[in-house]
Amino acid sequence: MNVGDLESVARSLVAPGKGILAADESGPTIEKRFQGISVPSTESNRRAYRELLFTTPEVSGYISGAILYDETIRQKSSDGIPFPEVLIRRGIVPGIKVDEGAKPLPGFPGEKVTEGLDGLRDRLAAYRELGARFAKWRAVIDIGDGIPTAFCIRANAHALARYAALSQEAGLVPVVEPEVLMDGGHTIERCGEATNEVLSRVFSELARHRVRLEGMLLKPNMVIPGKKCPVQADVSRVAEETVRTLSRTVPAAVPGIVFLSGGQTPRQATEHLNAMNGMGGHPWELSFSYGRALQDPVLKAWKGEAANVPAAQKAFLHRSKLNGAARFGKYVPALEDAA
Ligand code: 13P
């Protein structure tokens, strides 16, 4: 695959009005999500749930790509079609989570570094064979007393750049995800400082590792106060702080920025994206790669019952449409209640 192919896949993932569905929950994470609706996390329930998402009628008008987990990329629809093929036939690009999770960083209490570089070249080749055209790696940065340290940021940025270079070599578009968590009581200013440091370091490592910016996407957090911060910020403040931080740190050669939702409610995640796109004049596409903010209403409507699949698909299409509107800055709260 040449540079142009990577660039065209990256651009198609941030096509106007569309964004990415993050459906790459690991075993423990999907178990937690299913617990919330009292559904046991069996292989067949996980398969049925992902089939519901991937076969939702009309959703490809708003969803450009879907990130899968290792188990999911090997599963098939009930009529025997491998999930990557189900997605490709619908015009949705299959992607794959390739990191092996954030583990404690030795010597740095409370901080984590993401593992998964060993053997990654071979795993990327296998995933491409299975149909993946993009890959995701998530680094986790926590804000707290004396953290994040510069060392933790560096270790995570280095691993992200190693993964991104290997992904491009394998013909997969890297979606580079350094997530500054919104857990805790920190202020929006503190989140802005940490995000600024993290993104600066990530792009300096990406440059050192000769990653082609035109053939990647960035998946960052928004600049937002911690969930327990007594001073919350309104929608326009989050939008302004986020865009300011990105404009200082993300080169214009990056085709798109696809935000994670990170624990925001579905509505907040849509409102924030909408406000940023409403500001206009950005050098990159501003889009979404939401997990919880797209799936929470779907899980609640599904509850593990086959009879609820149509209602759950309706909920998924609705949330996708709202985020599609936010891509143009055309979301209004009244749309929430539209059928
Ligand atoms: P959330 O949108 O739920 O944060 O998930 C996105 C994701 O892919 C996290 O790695």
Given the residues 177, 205, 271, 285, select the one marked as catalytic. Answer: 177
Q: Tell me how far apart the alpha carbons of residues 55 and 62 are, in angstroms, rounded to a whole number.
A: 13
Q: Name all domains of the chain by residue range, CATH numbers in brackets.
A: 3-337 (3.20.20.70)
261 CB under 6 A from ligand 1? yes
Q: Tell me how far apart the alpha carbons of residues 172 and 95 are, in angstroms, rounded to a whole number.
A: 9
Nearest to 152 by CA among 116, 190, 103, 119: 103
69 CB under 6 A from ligand 1? no
Nearest atom of ligand 1 to the alpha carbon of 293 = 2
Q: Tell me how far apart the alpha carbons of residues 200 and 68 are, in angstroms, rounded to a whole number.
A: 28
Given the residues 97, 112, 136, 219, select the one marked as catalytic. Answer: 219
Identity of the amino acid at 178: P
Residue 177 appears among annotated catalytic residues: yes
For the cut 70, the answer to whether the pLDDT of residue 212 exceeds it is: yes
- Kindly state the percentage of the chain with pLDDT values over 90: 98
Nearest atom of ligand 1 to the alpha carbon of 295 = 3
Residue 219 appears among annotated catalytic residues: yes
b/e 139-175 (16+ beta carbons within 10 angstroms → b): bbbbbeeeebeeebbebbbbbbbbbbbbbbebbbbbb
202 CB under 6 A from ligand 1? no
Residue nearest to atom 10 of ligand 1 (CA): 138
Q: Tell me how far apart the alpha carbons of residues 253 and 284 are, in angstroms, rounded to a whole number.
A: 8
Answer for the pair 272, 4: CB distance below 8 angstroms, yes or no: no
For the cut 60, the answer to whether the pLDDT of residue 19 exceeds it is: yes
Most ligand 1 atoms within 8 A of CB, residue of 136, 290, 323 to mutate:
290
DSSP-assigned beta bridge partners for residue 112: 104
b/e 187-215 (16+ beta carbons within 10 angstroms → b): ebebbbbbbbbbbbbbbebbeebebbbbb
For the cut 60, the answer to whether the pLDDT of residue 156 exceeds it is: yes
323 CB under 6 A from ligand 1? no
Residue in the structure block whose two tokens are 């198609």: 12
292 CB under 6 A from ligand 1? yes
Nearest to 241 by CA among 289, 182, 196, 175: 196
Residue in the structure block whose two tokens are 């491998």: 82
For the cut 80, the answer to whether the pLDDT of residue 77 exceeds it is: yes
pLDDT tens per residue across span 34-67: 999 999 999 999 999 999 999 999 999 999 999 9
Say how many Å lie between the CA of residue 290 and the centre of ligand 1: 5
CA angle 247, 250, 254 (to 5 degrees): 120
293 CB under 6 A from ligand 1? yes
Torsion of CA 29, 35, 39, 44, to 10 degrees: 20
pLDDT of residue 76: 98
pLDDT of residue 1: 55
For the cut 80, the answer to whether the pLDDT of residue 173 exceeds it is: yes
Q: Tell me how far apart the alpha carbons of residues 32 and 83 are, in angstroms, rounded to a whole number.
A: 23
